[in-house]
Chains A and B, each alone.
Chain A
């Protein structure tokens, strides 16, 4: 297509708006409601243009280019109309400063600051300098507003976490409404009322926290005025520096832009260039980075136990102390536990340190809890490839999605965006969940299963496939016969009662799955943290083969995949995560090097305990030395996200206090212990060595590290496709009178190392307090429990404390709690099983009882 804009001849391809084309060619058209990621709105009317042979003044944001169009963007009539429209906008928005002739002087000398009321002056607006309205006033050269001002005089809404809403500043561009609906699928805000009363608001004017808001902050990011403001920067000046890095608060690997002022983090925003997040973030990435890095719980000095007390020491002293003591333990006497939240380089060094210096095979991390670990276990048993060759973007291309055991919008908000895209393009969503989830409004089918019965559901669906296949005579995949005969043992007559859904619903689910093209199965710890975790995954694996679906395991920690790849290079003969803690309490282990969140070691019987962490935690009481590690923001390195994308993250600020990066601490320690294999001066040197050594990183090019590259997991030796026979035994989900409830856990990564975000961040606590014990209104009434009351939850083997939270969407007979490492032991769900986590995947669906705390 050929068009002319202001006499300029332009060649256009595809369906583009006039505004897009003009911007691309450097022709400026003012606009306020348009946003490149959102559907055109056409509300602000500033981007109007004239098009030859078309009447009126169409807005360029919602007018698509047609061949031969002659467009004018700057005729006198247009400019006059724009100015008048902008004057109308300003009549509803505080404008005294915007149009003040002395504003330039005032910025510097504040000479006229007293001329306008504090609330209506730009200088005190939190958005001053970031305001798009200021820019437009500047370019349209408005110097007076002929219309009388109309101040809406609405109450500023300050009751919700993280950001304030001052609709007196709102210009009704609708970006927040659109981003919430179109990109986030939450639709928490909408336009309300009509005429001059029209404004943005929530249903029944409820607080955001009750209206489905996920606090992703997308609305704050698109707001052109100071209407939506992050509370944390309300009174802060503009940033003096800006840096890019990767978020460590879940397994997505979102790219963030960090705003800095004098080496302090002001705020973090999603980067438009992020390969995974493309301009979106979640509540953690958007609002918690600052709270994590500048947490008051940070340890900023090495501590060494002198006599009975931990005392501050210099690095020299602390390192010497640890080096000398640690030298005494070798092999099976010592173990290392590191967090899957440290960088690849650091985990690589921990592993190297364990095997080369401490000569021990006892090295593990909480990676053990991840779905990836369960699949790996299952795959190893059956000689299978893991089937991890996917990208998150594949989810948006799926035509049928099966979501099981995970509340994706909460646990993996960015994955949810991919699911939403698929749903918006007409994909069918099948959700298997006992509780009603926010995403159910997008689902084609909600299988309201009884908790913990996923295995029966999956097996029955497999059986329906088998019956169908026999008729159709489909080609068979390896392992089919033993799979088929193992399914033969499955008594499907009781399945409806056990799972709690009807035959019709199951057949509908089968119908959707059997017709599915490009199916995607999403599952997480809800499925794997179960006494039958491995079996659940095997059942899902088989069903996925039948439905020709791709499996998407959703893990928690940011560097799980990296830790997994690096772990492939070590022996698996040593103790694993759980065994290490058991050994610590039994006395088998003499020394422990702890670098990550761990259960409380109260009963531990250790001779030497080193803790390398960024935050104060309970285990300090037992530590002989504490080495202050810096956070992700204070060093460089790489993370591998959940889809296997190795991404470089960057040092944003200098380490706080005396904290040092993990790689530095380990290298220094190894050197002091006389090891010559740790000569690293910076992370880059470690990266170079690591990609040489780790098979999964063999195709990573150091030169292109900034780009983000996929790691290579398959070794090509194992089978790609094979059925796995499933084992049946009697259900152990019978209700025991003494323990009438089942424990259902919520899995989202609400901790960074030893910092419990949903405890330490006030905002996070309001959204999902990790100490909430969720209960249905019916059960709460029956037990006479009130919101906020202290309660104790007990299993046959342990207990933990919490506070009652009554949740309507929860069915009877289920208690909900959060899975959280780093939480105080009294309040940690791990208290249900004594001595840490005895079995790696048995936390879910424990029979428990609940009572009021005395």
Chain B
């Protein structure tokens, strides 16, 4: 049991921590996110520690494995604090040099610096890397400073200060008023006003209430929630405790996917550490408020991210959504009023309390306040997690932060909001990123996925891909979603195979409307978005597939051929040897020919043909037909 007025005790802890860290001015932070894990960051961190001991520097230099820095493209990422020297793609062989040069001799190892692809300029400090420059990392920023397995790191950075303020200086009404005034909207997809949501739940008449943190991040390629749970779990926990206080809940759940082992590990540890310090449990920090958190691992169904199915899953039932109303705030988990927010939303809460609603509401646009974390993936130079203020232009994210399209290809579209978001075309690059604008453009904010596509992407194929995903992840409860998406996939597949007919476009639009209007939950109601937006912005591509049996992006296998240009082929046998089905014939120094009957269009020949030669081309439409005709004529001759 804690003493009577413990908040001061938290200050004492904080003072002690900073005192103990004064000595060690230098800290080598190694990113410990899942992306950098894959690059071997743990070995790098161990090597740093070993080298420091070897050099007997342990009293002045610290090594810290931190949360995700976001710039996953360039991992493993190492930042040397307090200066913020940014080394990327660091490997075991570099460790000695970093210690001897940078730590001891205070020199920069140029080789490990990030090179700006356009200017070829080497950049020394993290904050000057263009990827970070235009970001506003108010939620995500601390990830790089915190060891997520150590609560002290969070406390040292003013962690749980907001909680103390709330518990001892604010009433629950005041907390809700603050959150309302900040204009914070849910980061999980629908963008409902968080303060309003809390208020409804608070006003619901029940002695038992629950809160839930939705960490069932299911959108393909989106992983901002994972990074927060992995990198700064206490910010989420603090947000939840504040929310629970405001709403009057005494039990909370974090519903996290099984497929996020590191996130599960870190958040579980964080909850334990918070309990250890009396930040969770009975009479938190000596106040009268009690609250506890359970970690619930989901089994990996996309639909579990839908709030009503998530609750069904916690209750031990199949993750089926149910009709709303009643909303969770009225009848949620086990029929009790329940407030459910996304990970990122919870992480915003301590910030609003600490810095004030007014400060917070100055970031963003009129109706969309604060920042939003996006996971920027696809055909873009700098993939990773980016946190930007609402209202930023799409162009800024893609070109300034993202560093433009890979291999200097042409930008075609960006798909936002996960599999049920829409595709936004190039002429909308100056779109402001906020809830309303995205919806108006036929897409949505969703949880913040951003998939960039270049000229080599076939939009019909993209629509088919996303529909196939939602179709497979449909829970099967309601007819329009379960069967409607399947029929949509079938029609799209037909089109990509060149078997579409003129009525298909109309059918797609019609059926999409039925699926949207008829489906039970958000999954089905938004599932047709990729179809509708691609038809809206890229109708010509559909028409090319249907009328001309042509795939302009040269993607749809049934509509393209691979062809070896006789005037370019040098007869090197490379493609011939790599063809998995022996469809290429020819001899050394003689022109090779692809047998179109045998070809499975895997593209191996194109990949292996040396760039100097580049004799393999893809063709669609008329040109394809001509080549095929010629080939068949030759066959007849023989």
A150 to B475, CA, bound (A): 18
Which residues of chain B are within 8 angstroms of A195 by Cβ–Cβ distance? 471-474, 476, 482, 485-486
Whether A196 and B475, one on each chain, are in contact in the complex, defined by CB atoms closer than 8 angstroms, is no
Which A residues are in CB contact (< 8 Å) with B486? 150, 195-196
A84 with B482, Cβ < 8 A, contacts A62-B322, A194-B474 known: no
Q: How far is the CA of A196 from the CA of B322 in the complex (A)?
A: 19
Nearest 6 interchain pairs by C-beta: A198-B476, A62-B323, A88-B483, A42-B323, A195-B472, A84-B514
Bound form: Cα–Cα A198–B303 in Å: 13
When C-beta atoms are compared, the residue in chain A nearest to B524 turns out to be A45
Task: Name the one of B471, B472, B480, B482 contacting A172, with C-beta atoms under 8 angstroms.
Answer: B482
B-contacting 9-mer, from A53-61, A298-306, A336-344, A404-412 = A53-61
The answer to whether B475 and A198 touch across the interface, beta carbons within 8 angstroms, is yes
A residues less than 8 Å from B625 (CB atoms): none
On chain A, the residues within 8 Å of B487 by CB distance are 88, 91, 147-148
| CB–CB B475/A194 < 8 A | yes
Q: Is the CB of A42 within 8 A of B483?
A: no
In the complex, 15 of the A-B residue pairs with CB atoms within 8 angstroms, ordered by the A residue number, are A43-B478, A44-B478, A56-B517, A57-B518, A58-B323, A63-B325, A81-B518, A88-B480, A89-B479, A92-B483, A191-B318, A194-B476, A195-B473, A195-B482, A196-B482
Partner-B contacts on A (CB < 8 A) = 40-45, 48, 56-59, 62-64, 77, 81, 84-85, 88-89, 91-92, 146-148, 150, 171-172, 174, 190-191, 193-199
By beta carbon, the residue of chain A nearest B503 is: A146
Give CA–CA (A174, B507) in the complex, Å.
29
Say yes or no: B518 contacts A48, CB within 8 Å. Answer: yes
Complex CA–CA separation, A485 to B339 (angstroms): 58
Partner of B318 from the list A48, A85, A190 (CB cut-off 8 Å) is: A190
Q: Closest Cβ of chain A: how far from B320's Cβ, in Å?
A: 7
Other-chain contact of B323, A63, A85, A172, A174 (Cβ < 8 Å): A63
Q: Which residues of chain B are near A44, meaning CB under 8 Å?
A: 478-479
Known contacts A91-B483, A195-B486: does B520 contact A45 (CB below 8 Å)? yes
A88-B484, A196-B483 given; 8 more Cβ-contact pairs under 8 Å: A42-B477, A43-B479, A63-B323, A148-B490, A194-B301, A194-B476, A195-B473, A195-B482
| B199 vs chain A, min Cβ distance (A) | 20
For the complex, what is the distance from the CA of A45 to the CA of B483, rounded to whole Å? 12
Tell me the minimal C-beta distance from A819 to chain B in angstroms. 37
Q: In the bound complex, do residue A193 and residue B507 qualify as a contact, i.e. CB atoms below 8 Å apart?
A: no
Closest to A66 in B: B325
Residues of B close to A148: CB separation below 8 A: 487, 490
* Least CB distance, A213 to chain B, in whole angstroms: 18
Chain A nearest CB, measured from B348 CB (Å): 27
A/B pair count, beta carbons within 8 Å: 98
| One of B323, B471, B483 near A59 (C-beta < 8 A) | B323
Shortest beta-carbon distance from B446 to chain A in Å: 19
Residue B392, interface by CB 8 Å:
no
Q: Which residue of A lies closest to B468 (CB)?
A: A195
Residues from chain A with a CB closer than 8 A to the CB of B507 are: 146
Interface string of B489-530 (1 = CB under 8 A from A): 010000000000000000100110010011110000000000
A236 shortest CB reach to chain B, Å:
31
Once the chains bind, are A42 and B520 in contact (CB under 8 Å)? yes
How many whole Å from B517's CB to the nearest CB in chain A? 5
In the complex the two chains form, what is the Cα distance from A577 to B301 in whole Å? 63
**Which B residues lie within 8 Å of A48 (CB)?**
518
Q: How far is it, in angstroms, between the C-alpha of A48 and the C-alpha of B471 when the chains are bound?
A: 22
List A contacts of B485 (CB < 8 A): 195
Residues of B within 8 A of A77 (CB): 517
Instruction: Enumerate chain B residues within 8 angstroms of A85, measured Cβ to Cβ.
Output: 479-480, 514, 518
Chain B: minimal CB distance from A199 (Å): 8
Closest residue of chain B to A89 (Cβ to Cβ) is B479
**Given contacts A148-B490, A191-B318, A196-B471, A172 and B514 within 8 Å (CB-CB):** no
Which chain B residues lie closer than 8 Å to A147 at the CB level?
487
Closest A residue, CB atoms, query B490: A148
Whether B514 lies near A43 (C-beta < 8 A) is no
When distances are taken between beta carbons in the complex, the residues of chain A under 8 Å from B303 are: 194
Residues on the B chain within 8 Å of A45, using CB: 478-480, 518-520
Give complex CA distance A85, B323 in Å: 17
Give, as a whole number of angstroms, the nearest-CB distance from A710 to chain B.
36
- Does A194 lie within 8 Å of B322, measured CB to CB? no
Q: Given the complex, which residues of B lie within 8 Å of A199, measured CB to CB?
A: 476
Which chain B residue has the least Cβ–Cβ distance from A78?
Answer: B517
Given contacts A42-B520, A43-B478, A148-B490, is CB(A89)–CB(B473) below 8 Å? no
CB-CB nearest in chain A for B302? A194
Residues of A within 8 A of B477 (CB): 41-43, 172, 174, 191
Task: Give bound CA distance, A178 to B301, whole Å.
Answer: 21
Residue of B nearest to A148 (CB): B490
Which partner residue on chain B sits nearest A48 by CB separation?
B518
Least CB distance, A320 to chain B, in whole angstroms: 68
Query: Nearest chain-A residue to B519 (Cβ)?
Result: A45
For the complex, give the distance between the alpha carbons of A788 and B325 in Å. 55
**Contact between B476 and A42, CB atoms less than 8 A apart:** no
